[in-house]
């Protein structure tokens, strides 16, 4: 019988791609989401409906906010989970600077509820969706797992850091717990079918969805936040990783938990940084469209450069990013061109 894995925030961008990989790896994902960043189709996220059609399967879904402790308890009484993959949470850097209390309440309280309910029901295996933002302004590049953490430049990053600390302390106190903390760099791209991808609600907070929406004609112009950083062309440099590579990293993490690994931390990135303007050019090539842009002031909380040293994940998880920048942009453009207004009016 397939192992049941709880996926929180499984209707969102990264979560939905992870659900695909879980099913293809033989797991049974049980998905919860509160629709804060997922498009509704009846009682389920549109992303989940499309995965069911794509993989010719059915997926158990529950509309649930992790702040709803009784609802969470009910779910854990119904199912015996082998592990939890935790994606759910607010995730916009800029918004977190403007609304820090909201981010602390939602991200931290929800996670504490989840951890306590897991403990009560003896579910002791966790994969946590962390972020490279825990490193703050890089002291050296590329960033390895030994780089200092906690000097976060925004409240979103601080919530990821605080949750990591909670998990580390809990694993230290409870020796039978295992956790893998995955520090993502910048996921982009989409499933090769073009049926699921990133569909931000409202104005995109991340670069590539905005670039793709400009290319498809949904938005007029890209704002490039800052061109006076100490980088190749003055614009911010990031490590972009294909979302499918990222999703496969979670499958590798689940296998690591089987080794009674305690608490482990891994970077998931490619090890190569690209500037904003390099990404614009790559998307122009993939789409065949000119992408107009204008220079805007820097955003609060942004750093000049951030890219990974992913060698520990390769050594200990047997995981390595496979897709190059051209493929990332091609898959992103396929998704955007097939779904010009996102899930609300796609071609599935």
State the burial class of residue 267 (Cβ atoms within 10 Å of its Cβ: 0-12, 13-18, 19+): buried
Exposure b/e, 134-163, CB count within 10 A at least 16 = b: bbbebeebbbebebebeebbbbbbbbbbbb
How far is the first Cα of the chain from the last one, in angstroms, to the nearest whole number?
Answer: 31
Q: Is 103 a catalytic residue?
A: no
Question: Which residue carries 């609600």 as its tokens?
Answer: 201
For residues 66 and 113, the answer to whether their CB atoms sit within 8 Å is yes
CB 72: neighbour CB atoms within 10 A? 25
Q: Which helix (H) or strand (E) holds 30?
A: strand 28-33
What's the token pair of residue 11?
A: 């209707």
Q: Which of 120, 114, 105, 122 is nearest to 166 (CA)?
A: 114
Question: Which residue stretches of 288-324 are H helix?
Answer: 311-317
**291 φ/ψ angles, rounded to the nearest 5 degrees:** -115, 100
Pairing of the two strands 222-225 and 186-188: unpaired
- Helix/strand/coil for 69: helix
Round to whole Å and give the CA distance between 266 and 180: 8
The helix or strand, by DSSP H or E, that contains position 199, with its residue range, turns out to be: none
Catalytic member of 27, 103, 135, 156: 156
- Is-contact 268 313, C-beta < 8 A? yes
- Rounded CA separation 257/3 (Å): 13
Q: Burial of 281 by CB count in 10 Å (0-12 exposed, 13-18 middle, 19+ buried)?
A: middle
CA atoms within 13 A on the CB side of 90: 25
CA distances from 194 to 212, 279, 296, 347 (A): 13, 20, 31, 9
Which positions are catalytic?
156
């Amino acid at each position: 019988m397939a192992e049941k894995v709880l996926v929180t925030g499984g209707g969102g961008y990264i979560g939905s791609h992870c659900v695909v990989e879980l099913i293809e790896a033989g797991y049974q994902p049980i998905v919860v989401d509160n629709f804060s960043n997922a498009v509704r189709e009846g009682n389920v996220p549109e992303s989940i409906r499309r995965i069911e059609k794509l993989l010719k399967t059915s997926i158990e879904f529950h509309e649930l906010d992790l702040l709803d402790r009784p609802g969470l308890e009910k779910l854990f009484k119904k199912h015996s989970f082998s592990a939890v993959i935790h994606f759910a949470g607010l995730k916009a850097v800029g918004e977190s600077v403007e609304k820090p209390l909201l981010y602390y309440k939602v991200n931290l309280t929800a996670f504490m509820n989840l951890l306590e309910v897991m403990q009560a029901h003896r579910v002791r295996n966790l994969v946590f969706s962390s972020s490279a933002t825990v490193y703050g302004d890089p002291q050296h590049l590329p960033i390895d797992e030994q780089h200092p953490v906690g000097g976060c430049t925004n409240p979103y990053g601080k919530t990821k850091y605080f949750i990591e600390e909670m998990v580390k302390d809990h694993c230290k106190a409870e020796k039978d717990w295992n956790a893998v903390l995955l520090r993502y760099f910048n996921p982009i791209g989409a499933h090769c079918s073009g049926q699921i991808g990133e569909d931000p609600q409202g104005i995109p907070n991340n670069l590539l969805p905005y670039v793709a929406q400009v290319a498809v004609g949904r938005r007029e112009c890209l704002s490039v936040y800052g061109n006076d950083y100490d980088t190749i062309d003055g614009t911010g440099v990031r490590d972009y990783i294909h979302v499918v590579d990222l999703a496969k990293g979670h499958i590798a993490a689940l296998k690591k938990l089987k080794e009674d690994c305690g608490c482990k931390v891994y970077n998931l990135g490619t090890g190569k940084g690209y500037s904003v303007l390099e990404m614009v050019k790559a998307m122009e090539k993939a789409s065949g469209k000119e992408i107009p842009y204008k220079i805007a002031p820097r955003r609060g909380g942004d750093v000049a450069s951030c890219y990974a040293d992913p060698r520990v994940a390769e050594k200990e998880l047997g995981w390595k990013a496979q897709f190059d920048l051209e493929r990332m942009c091609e898959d992103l453009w396929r998704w955007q061109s097939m779904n010009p207004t996102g899930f609300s009016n796609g071609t599935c």
